[in-house]
Amino acid sequence: MARRLRGDGLPIKIGPFWINLRSIIPDLLRHIAFFYAQYETAESERFIDFHITLKNSGGLRRWVKPQANFLLDEYAPFKPLPYVHAFAMFEWGLNWCIATTAHHYLIVHAAVLEKGGQGIIMPGTPGSGKSTLCAAMSLRGWRLLSDEMALLDPVSRAITPVPRPVSLKNDSIGVIRRFSAGAEMGPAAKDTAKGTVAHLRPSLLSIQKASITCRPHAIVFPKYESESRTNLVKKAKNRALMEIQENAFNTHILGKEGFDAAKSLIDGCPNYSLQYSSLEDALITIERILDDAEVTA
C-alpha cells in the first residue's frame, strides 16, 4: 500500500468516488494505513474522479519547517499547512473536491447514520455537537454514511454514503475516548485551524455497505448545551428549510433544483431540534425517533 502511494498512486474507492492518492509524507501514509486499509482499491487503470497528491512544499522549507501541499491533479486550492497536519489536510481537501464537483447531489453539511434501513440526517453548524453525536452513534451499531456531508439525490431523495474517518475536535476527542473503550482513534493534530483534530475509524460494516443508499427517516438538528436536559422538539418546516439551505455547499450552483430538493427532503420527513448534554440520553431519544413516526421528549 505504502509503496503504491509513494509511486504512481493508489486508487481507493471512497463512497461513490474513486480517488488516486499519491504521497510520501509519513504521517499521511500512517493515516491511510490505519483508516483506509479496508476500502476497495484498484489494481488496473480506471477512471478516477480525483487525482490527489500531498507533497512537500519545495525550497528551503523542506529542511526548516516542512509543509504539506494539497494538489487536485496539478492545482493547489489551499495554502500549505505544517507537515504534521497533512492527514487533516487530506480529509479537508477531499471534502472540498466533493463539494465543488459532485453537483448531481444536493450536498448538505450534515452527518448521516442509518439503522434498520432508516436514515437520520443531522445538519450541524460548528459547535453543535454533530460530530460527537455522530461518533457516539456509530459506536453503538449505527451505520455511518458520512460525518460531514449528506449526498442527497435531488429526485429520489436517497442518500449516497461516503463513509470516512469521523473528524473530532478538541474536547470531543476525550469525550469519545471515555464514551467507548472500543473507539479506534488516530493520532491528534494539534494547533490546526480548528484546534486539535483526531479521527475515529468507522465500523467495518459502514465501509462494506458503502454502496447501499438509504432513505431519510428524520432530520435532527443537534445542539449541545452543557448541563442541559435532553430535549427533543419538533422544528418548524420553514425554519428547517432555511437551515438546510444554509448548511448546503452547492445551493448557489443548483439554484431551483437545489431548493426543490431541500424542500422535498423537509416535506418528506419529520424535523426535530435536539438539545443535549448526555450522549447516552441523546442516543435513547434518537432510537425512539426510529420507533415512532412522530415523537417528542
Partner 1 sequence: MIAPLLLQVLKSPEAVAGFTATEWDLLVRQAKAANLLAHLHVVFMDRGLEKAIPEKPGLHFKAAHKIARRSVLAVRWEVSQLQEALHSLAIPIVLLKGAAYVMAELPISRGRLFHDIDILVPRSALEEVEKRLMGWGWRTTHASAYDQRYYRTWMHEIPPMKQIRRQTVLDIHHSILPLTARLKPDPKKLLSQAVNFEGEGDLYWLCDVDMILHSATHLFHDGELEHGLRDLVDIAELLRHFATRDGFWQALCDRAEEMDLVRPLVYGLRYVDILLGVEVPDEAKAWMREGMPGRLLVAVMDSLFLRALQPDHASCNRWGTGLARWMLFVRSHYLRMPLKLLIPHLIRKAFTDDEEAAVPREVQRFIANNNP
The residues binding partner 1 (CB under 8 A) are 18, 45-49, 51, 73-75, 77-79, 92, 95-96, 99-104, 109, 126-127, 193-194, 247, 249, 252-255
3-state class (DSSP) for residue 210 = coil
Q: Which is nearer to partner 1, 74 or 294 (CB)?
A: 74
Closest distance between partner 1 and the C-beta of residue 55, in Å? 13
Centre a 10 Å sphere on the Cβ of residue 158 and count the other Cβ atoms it contains. 15
User: Residues with Cβ < 8 Å from 96, sequence gap 6 or more?
Assistant: 77, 78
Q: Which is nearer to partner 1, 248 or 269 (CB)?
A: 248
In angstroms, rounded to a whole number, what is the distance separating the alpha carbons of residues 104 and 229? Answer: 40
Closest distance between partner 1 and the C-beta of residue 265, in Å? 19
User: Do residues 95 and 89 touch, judged by C-beta distance below 8 A?
Assistant: no
Q: Which is nearer to partner 1, 104 or 178 (CB)?
A: 104
Phi, psi of 61 (to 5 degrees): -45, -35
Q: Which is nearer to partner 1, 2 or 48 (CB)?
A: 48
Closest distance between partner 1 and the C-beta of residue 73, in Å? 5
User: Do residues 148 and 95 touch, judged by C-beta distance below 8 A?
Assistant: yes
Q: Which is nearer to partner 1, 149 or 218 (CB)?
A: 149
Closest distance between partner 1 and the C-beta of residue 93, in Å? 10
Nearest alpha carbon to residue 165 among 99, 87, 223: 87
Q: Which is nearer to partner 1, 65 or 252 (CB)?
A: 252
In angstroms, rounded to a whole number, what is the distance separating the alpha carbons of residues 190 and 257? Answer: 40
Closest distance between partner 1 and the C-beta of residue 23, in Å? 17
Closest distance between partner 1 and the C-beta of residue 140, in Å? 27
How many angstroms from the chain centroid is the CA of residue 1?
A: 24
Residue whose C-alpha cell reads 500531498 in the numeric block: 54
Closest distance between partner 1 and the C-beta of residue 152, in Å? 15
Q: Which is nearer to partner 1, 23 or 247 (CB)?
A: 247
H-helix or E-strand containing 176? helix 171-179
In angstroms, rounded to a whole number, what is the distance separating the alpha carbons of residues 183 and 203? Answer: 10
In angstroms, rounded to a whole number, what is the distance separating the alpha carbons of residues 89 and 69? Answer: 8
User: Do residues 160 and 106 touch, judged by C-beta distance below 8 A?
Assistant: no
